[in-house]
Amino acid sequence: MPYEQIPYEVEDIQLPEKVASFIQEADKRCDAYYAAELNKRYPKYVPSEPAQVYAALKFVTDQGLPLGEHFIEWGSGFGVATGLAALLDYTATGIEIQEDLIEKAERLLSEQGVDAQFINCSYIPEGLIEYETLGTTDLEFDSYGQTDNPIYEEMEIPINEIDLFFAYPWPGEQGMMLKLFDLLAGDGAILVTYFGDREINIYRKL
């Protein structure tokens, strides 16, 4: 397994005023989303706990773990983690396949004065095949379409030059996200995963 888990315990930290304001507005919009029963379109979608996500991103930043400033959120939804990374001065990009969620994320960040990019596509790039096995999702390179350095359109750098990844996978997809990180990330890249309330793991590609 060419990645290692970095010890981390979820922290409750004092949030900067701008971060707290951003989270408060994001929570309000998520609540409105559910109140309108729009979540029926995405029944597996449950928002993360933004303060915990921010604390984890700040931890890896303070520890100097990412080798640079490029951040990607796989499955960005409302764009909360992407916005939090931008507030930590990362060049932040959210990858989201649902166009209406992209629109909500862009509106949220624009109105909060947070600068980030969103790309409307699958976080599984061309050259990878996704398949079901024993009730879980797995990935492998397509031997007919494999590229040495997969990219997301609209990004200026290949995926293996991303320094920090964040993912909150759906149930049954935790292993697939780790496989995605294993296949795509460059040496030294960091992955922060949110698996549920106070269940945050940090990995480094070897």
**Stretch 59-82: mean pLDDT, rounded?**
97
Q: Read off the tokens for 9.
A: 């315990």
pLDDT of residue 154: 87
| pLDDT tens for each residue of 138-169 | 566 655 555 567 788 889 899 999 999 999 98
Q: What is the DSSP letter of 126?
A: T
Question: ∠ at Cα 204 (200, 206), nearest 5°?
Answer: 155
Q: How many CA atoms lie within 13 A of 172 on its CB side?
A: 9
pLDDT of residue 126: 78
Does 196 or 148 have the greater pLDDT score?
Answer: 196
| pLDDT tens for each residue of 125-142 | 876 666 666 556 656 665
pLDDT of residue 152: 87
The answer on pLDDT for 96 being more than 60 is yes
In angstroms and rounded to an integer, the radius of gyration of the C-alpha atoms of the chain is 16
**Stretch 167-173: mean pLDDT, rounded?**
85
Q: Read off the tokens for 41.
A: 């379109």
Does 35 or 76 have the greater pLDDT score?
Answer: 76
Q: Which of 84-98, 117-131, 182-196 has the lowest mean pLDDT?
A: 117-131
The answer on pLDDT for 177 being more than 70 is yes
Task: Say how many C-beta atoms besides its own lie within 10 A of residue 145's C-beta.
Answer: 10
**Could you tell me which CATH class the domain 3-205 is placed in?**
alpha beta
Nearest to 96 by CA among 35, 28, 157, 167: 167
Does 8 or 174 have the greater pLDDT score?
Answer: 8
What average pLDDT does the structure give for the chain? 89
Helix (H), strand (E) at residue 153: none
Does 141 or 31 have the greater pLDDT score?
Answer: 31
Which CA distances in Å does 34 have to 78, 95, 98, 156, 183?
A: 13, 22, 17, 35, 35
pLDDT of residue 46: 63
pLDDT of residue 86: 99
Burial label for 110, CB within 10 Å (0-12, 13-18, 19+), is exposed
pLDDT of residue 172: 76
pLDDT of residue 189: 99
Share of the chain above pLDDT 90, in %: 66
